[in-house]
Amino acid sequence: MRQSGAGIKKNDGFLPLCREDMAARGWTRVDFVYVTGDAYVDHPSFGAAIITRLLEARGYKVGIISQPDWKDKESVTIYGEPRLGFLVSSGNMDSMVNHYSVSKKRRATDAYTPGGMMGKRPDYAAVVYGNLIRRTYKKTPVILGGIEASLRRMAHYDYWSDKLKRSILLDSGADLISYGMGERSIVEIAEALDAGLSVEDLTYIDGTVVKVKSLDAVYDATLLPTFEELKADKKNYARSFYCQYCNTDPFSGKRLAERYGEHLYVVQNPPAKPLTQTELDDVYGLPYMRAYHPSYEGLGGVPAIKEIKFSLTSNRGCFGGCSFCALTFHQGRIVQARSKESLLMEAEKCIADADFKGYIHDVGGPTANFHHPACEKQGTYGACPQKQCLYPKPCPRLKADHREYIDILRALRSLPKVKKVFIRSGIRFDYLLADKDKTFLRELCEHHISGQLRVAPEHVSDAVLDKMGKPRNDVYQKFVKAFEQTNGQTQTSGREQKGGRFHKEQFLVPYLMSSHPGSTLKEAVELAEYCRDLGYMPEQVQDFYPTPSTLSTCMYYTGLDPRTMTPVYVPKSPHEKAMQRALIQYQDPANYRLVKEALTKAGRTDLIGFGKECLIRPRQMAKERNQTRNTKKRTKDR
């Protein structure tokens, strides 16, 4: 069965997307079939491109099945049975986040599908694809990877069904999971299968999750509560999750085992070791086409490439430790960075592209200004299991140094045909302040901002920031002051006063989050007052989204902070969440009723009035006006 629109010339450079492509290369069979919920985009910002190109470089033949029809089992048979196995990923996003907003409303478009069309992948895509393959190929190895599998690798709370779910390994019918950044584990899996080992025997590879009938051969596993115990008591889940959280480091992480029934265990092996700089450079130096497959051109292309085509990934991993972020579980806390030479080579490829207009859109990663591990010990001993590098304040061992990153940015700016190099992937402002040398802040303001710098204080209440794992509000205020001084402006109610270093009219655009665990209406009002004093109403507000495998999601589900096992207030009702969100956008007339109700419930009716400190003015609603008018009319008639 041929994928629609596929069929390319042998020298086109893309990997096979259909049987004709395979035949054009003179292949009669592929070693691996990679099934993905995304369109085929051969760019290193896509996990599928990295894994398939890496296997190709090791001599394996790989065919891609992009967005198969999950209602038709023939859609996964287009290459026949692969020699070694199927690799399955939902795509660059969890399929449920891709499909639904935090209010569980269906999204209208999918940026990872040709033409932005929604509906080309199923809900819980990795589970559906795994079972689709297993119904046809009973014994062929099936390996899950990508973020959906990585973050659902053990028992997990699923927000969309509001249930605790089993490990995705069991529900998908797959044999094992390659979790996290899978370059090391996927090569080791491929070599083991190629050497003739049975997939059931691959129980030992770092960075994988496997299922076994007994722990006889798993001699050193830490036992987590059983799935039945997790369902019976949310306290058990909070403890289990925190144990997993404290074992995400590749140097100190323990092997973990979770029992299902009497004779089935899901075993998580320790994370794979981070790549060295040379290894990371090699991964990004593979022969990517840096484009979507040409068969999508007539469908309008793949929208997701617009933001990343001329962006450079300079690092991976994050020691920021935000509670609502899954990076600790997926990429880990040890930062790995590419060399200047590697980034310059990729920049030259961008410049050579006919569509390049002189702008490098981003140079960064999860956090742009992290370009080396947080401290010297992490490269040998790993990150501290129960301590954070920046929270509640920077660790004394923290190495806050932007010199390498500055050197890279200067080199990129000096390339011919490069007009501007932007930083859009976000910076960590507390780390920036910890660097005594302020060169990076100066060059950031002078060269790398397109009028606005997006930063993520997330909230202003220290009580909420504590649950978020973010620095206290006074740290962000220090950064605001430093930013304004560097630009030569003072922001007062949205107006700028010139008189400083660069005389640039540049603005901070803060990301703010409503309804995070720990936020009552009191803290939501506090955030609204901050927006009032700033003279800023955000166009969009991020309501907390309980995605799998974050500390915040554990708080949301259990009502406990797993770090301390203390109770946490969790705003769950859609109406309260709507009130908290409306408070941040109190100036929007459409939010008036919600804001008034929220202020009344919070005991803050002092903010309803005509004074400068008030959020809204009292007004007579239409229904009330009609009642008053009718009362006056009846009185007059008498």
The mean pLDDT of 366-393, rounded to a whole number, is 94
Q: Ramachandran region of residue 603, left (φ > 0), alpha (ψ -120 to 50) or beta?
A: left
The mean pLDDT of 269-279, rounded to a whole number, is 97
Burial of 278: CB neighbours in 10 Å, binned 0-12, 13-18, 19+: exposed
**Residue 535 pLDDT exceeds 90:** no
The amino acid present at 427, given as its one-letter code, is I
The mean pLDDT of 560-565, rounded to a whole number, is 98
**pLDDT tens digits for 436-479?**
999 999 999 999 998 889 899 999 999 999 999 999 999 999 99
**Residue 503 pLDDT exceeds 70:** no
CA-CA distance, 541 to 357, in Å (whole number)? 32
CB count within 10 Å of CB 367 equals 22
Contact 609, 593 (CB under 8 A): no
CA-CA distance, 252 to 275, in Å (whole number)? 16
Domain 10-208's class?
alpha beta
CA-CA distance, 111 to 335, in Å (whole number)? 28
**Residue 624 pLDDT exceeds 90:** no
- Global pTM? 0.92
**pLDDT tens digits for 355-379?**
999 999 999 999 999 999 999 999 8
**Residue 534 pLDDT exceeds 90:** no
**Residue 2 pLDDT exceeds 60:** no
Torsion, Cα 521 526 529 531, to 10 degrees, reads -100
pLDDT of residue 634: 52
Contact 213, 170 (CB under 8 A): no
CB count within 10 Å of CB 397 equals 13
Q: List Cα–Cα distances, 544 to 119, 456, 462, 522, in angstroms.
A: 24, 14, 17, 17
**Residue 297 pLDDT exceeds 90:** yes
**pLDDT tens digits for 299-349?**
999 999 998 999 999 999 999 999 999 999 999 999 999 999 999 999 999
Q: Which letter, b or e, does each residue of 299-322 get, where b requires 16 or more Cβ atoms within 10 Å of its Cβ?
A: bebbbbbeebbbbbbbbbbbbbbb
Contact 33, 87 (CB under 8 A): yes
CA nearest 431: which of 382, 374, 383? 374
The amino acid present at 192, given as its one-letter code, is A
Domain boundaries, given as residue ranges, for the chain: 10-208, 308-450
CA-CA distance, 500 to 79, in Å (whole number)? 64
Average pLDDT, the chain: 92
SS (H, E, C) 142-169: EEECHHHHHHCCCCEEECCCCEEECCHH
Q: Name residue 89's beta-bridge partners.
A: 36
pLDDT category, 492, cuts 50, 70, 90?
Answer: very low
pLDDT of residue 636: 53
Packing angle of the helix pair 277-284, 340-352 (nearest 10 deg): 10
**pLDDT tens digits for 51-104?**
999 999 999 999 999 999 999 999 999 999 999 999 999 999 999 999 999 999
Contact 117, 303 (CB under 8 A): no
pLDDT category, 505, cuts 50, 70, 90?
Answer: confident
Run of H or E residues at 551: helix 551-558
pLDDT of residue 497: 36
Domain 308-450, CATH 3.30.750.210 — does that match? yes
Residues 6+ apart with CB under 8 A from 578: 594
Helix and strand counts by DSSP (H, E) for the chain:
24, 26
CA geometry: angle at 347 spanning 341 and 350, to 5°? 155
